[in-house]
A and B are shown apart, each in its own frame.
Chain A
Amino acid sequence: MSSTLAPRRAPKLWWNLLGLLVFVTAGFPLYWMLNTAFKPAKDAIDPDPSLLPTGITFANFGRALDIADFWGPVGRSLVVSLAVVVIGMAVGLLAALAISRFAFRGRKIVIVGILAVQMVPLVAMIIPVFLLLNDLGQYDRLTGLIITYLTFILPFTVWTLRGFIVNIPKELEEAAMVDGCSRTGAFLRVVFPLLAPGMVATSVYGFIQAWNEYLYALMLLSQKNQTATVWLGNFTTKHGTEYAPMMAGATMMAVPIVALFLLVQRKMAAGLTAGAVKG
């Protein structure tokens, strides 16, 4: 055994070196965004940039906030994303329950339908959606954007929640019903608490997707109603691009979203059943 261990040590070092290289390469764009955001603007336009930080300044963030209204777009993005998530969760949860807890004729067709809807590329839909909202007088309205976003949030929500519900043992519900709960009561007292973490994770995920959407936000809203993702385009004008403030803006956009994503990623991966049987 010891003889097989010894030669395994050396390769480990090489694997680690390779891993380190991957870490540096994959992380470099992130690092460079932060590095540029915090460096003095004059150091940013150096043909031979220093790879290490040259000093920390917040001036770029100030400039980024000045260049175009920042809080208006952020507020609009918040309104749209929250509305989409709330409607999507309410409607999606009912549908997820139907396809995961009931056997009925047509169940399979519904599942196929929901999966198929997910696969229709949004870009292909922009033309009819644009014409439709134009006809309904919903162009340049947040409500139009909210309704549109439901097309991709809803199927995703149904499918993900379905996964979480399936993982909650049916026996728990049945036990509650044997003890005298109604079906609704069993759901509210037993399933719902167990489903809550999954619902939170799904909501946050949906929120991120709605927040990140670009094309529809660009096409369906005018300049004065732009959302956060579109706001990032303000740094490029006819006179060129202000890169250091743009990276500061990118940082402001990315950090909250990446933080949320890091949080949820673990929740989405963690199984629910571990706590369920105990709890």
Chain B
Amino acid sequence: MSAADTTTPAKVPPPRQAPPPPADDLPRVRRPSGGAAIPWLLLAPCLLVLAAVMGYPLARLVTLSFQKFGQSQLWGFQPAESVGLDNFAKVVGDGEFWAVVLRTLVFAAGAVVFTMVIGMALALLLQRVSGWLKVLINIVLVASWGMPVIVATTVFKWLFDSDYGVFNALLSKLPGVEMIGHNWFASGPEGLAVIMLLVVWGAVPFVVITLSAGLTQVPKELEEAARLDGAGSWGVFRYVTLPVLKPIIVMLTTLSVIWDMGVFPQVFVMRGGHPEPEFQVLNTYSYDRAFVVNDYAQGSAIALITVLLLLGVVAVYMRQMLKIGEVE
């Protein structure tokens, strides 16, 4: 959900799953009166709510992107009329759109790679430090994970303030560096790097904690055996740890891609609600088209393209989740 979504790592079941029971353990049907109707009765309220609050807007998103829908349609002065693929043609024909797509992809790729690599490194480090330090680091990680995104963004805005931000002050303490007054948001790439740091800082704890739980499941005997066979630390990691953790890593990576492609509040709030053109990512761009330019149809078309772009990643994620869902 990405608005809160970047903070909502909770969309995953607890990583530790019950050991796979025999295959015939699928929920056995006891058939008292009612039979097959009962589960559907139980599901009915949930499905109704989802159809109403999700199904309808989703359908509307699709129809909207094939219509002309601006200010006058919003106020009901003119009926919304179908314009076929016009909106998509306009969006795709606009050079700015492709710049935004590229920027979003680079941003997401950077954020995902940093999140996963740092997360993995920290999870491994946590296995090697003393117990007291492990507790301390865990507290900090969980606390930063629990920070509301808006609060975290506000705090980073302050850390990187050009005149009074502590980051510039600390950098200036290095010999020969004079950074006080440096505006990190004067240029797109630098500003987006700060925003990426914020996103990574918020996303790493979830990765570390999930991977740490996974690491405890790597059988010690396998590691020992690999060592006896002459594997070094890297060899053990590459040929034992990684393969065991692979399902978790796939899940975390796909989730990170989904979240980082959908980054919104960080950019939006960091730029005071009006991201400059060189800060626009797909989501803010779609928002901008709809609510600033008042072209709701084009905004919808962009949102739809974003969803389609993510579809492939979502498919991988769902397959992984279903594998987990099947062993129950």
* A residues in contact (CB < 8 Å) with B: 11-12, 15-16, 18-20, 22-23, 26-27, 29-30, 32-33, 36, 44-49, 51, 90-92, 94-95, 97-105, 107-108, 110-129, 131-132, 134, 147-148, 150-152, 154-156, 158-160, 162-163, 166-167, 170, 183, 205, 208-216, 219, 229, 232-233, 236, 241, 243, 246-247, 250, 253-254, 257-258, 260-262, 265, 268-269, 271, 273
Contacts and interface: CB of A to CB of B under 8 A. Distances in A.
A273 B213 CA distance: 18
Given A15-B129, A258-B146, A26 B4 contact: no
Most-contacted residue by chain A among B29, B164, B269 (CB, 10 A): B164
A210 B39 CA distance: 28
Interface string B46-62: 11011011101110110
Given A15-B128, A118-B11, A127-B296, A102 B38 contact: yes
A216 B287 CA distance: 12
Contact of A112 (B172, B258, B318): B318
Interface of B: 1-5, 7-8, 10-11, 13-14, 16, 18, 26-30, 32, 36, 38-40, 42-43, 45-47, 49-50, 52-54, 56-58, 60-61, 64, 74, 122, 125-126, 128-130, 133-134, 136-137, 139-152, 154-159, 161, 163-164, 166, 169, 172, 180, 201, 204-205, 213, 258, 262, 264-265, 268-269, 272-273, 283, 286-287, 290-291, 296, 299-300, 303-304, 306-307, 310, 314, 317-318, 321-322, 325, 328
B46 A236 contact: no
A94 B42 CA distance: 5
A112 B44 CA distance: 16
Contacts of A247: 154-155, 158
Contacts of B38: 98, 102
A97 B42 contact: yes
B201 A265 contact: no
A128 B136 contact: no
B43 A160 contact: no
B18 A29 contact: no
Nearest to A164: B14
A98 B39 contact: yes
A125 B273 CA distance: 19
B29 A102 contact: yes
B164 A258 contact: no
Given A102-B38, A150-B53, A212-B150, A119 B317 contact: yes
B154 A246 contact: yes
Given A12-B128, A48-B172, 9 more contacts: A19-B126, A23-B133, A29-B144, A49-B169, A124-B304, A151-B1, A158-B46, A213-B4, A243-B164
Closest 7 CB pairs of A and B: A261-B146, A95-B46, A215-B3, A122-B1, A124-B303, A128-B60, A19-B129
Nearest to A219: B291
Most-contacted residue by chain A among B8, B30, B45, B151 (CB, 10 A): B151
Contact of A269 (B11, B14, B262, B307): B14
B159 A23 contact: no
Contacts of A110: 43, 47
Contacts of A132: 56-57, 60
A243 B161 contact: yes
A97 B203 CA distance: 31
A104 B29 contact: yes
Contacts of A159: 11, 13
A120 B314 CA distance: 9
Given A12-B130, A111-B325, A214 B286 contact: no
A212 B149 contact: yes
B68 to A, nearest CB: 14
A262 B318 contact: no
Contact of B125 (A19, A118, A154, A156): A19
A228 B103 CA distance: 31
A214 B27 contact: no
A103 B144 CA distance: 40
A27 B30 CA distance: 52
B259 to A, nearest CB: 9
Contacts of B57: 125, 128-129, 132
Nearest to A183: B32
B10 A258 contact: no
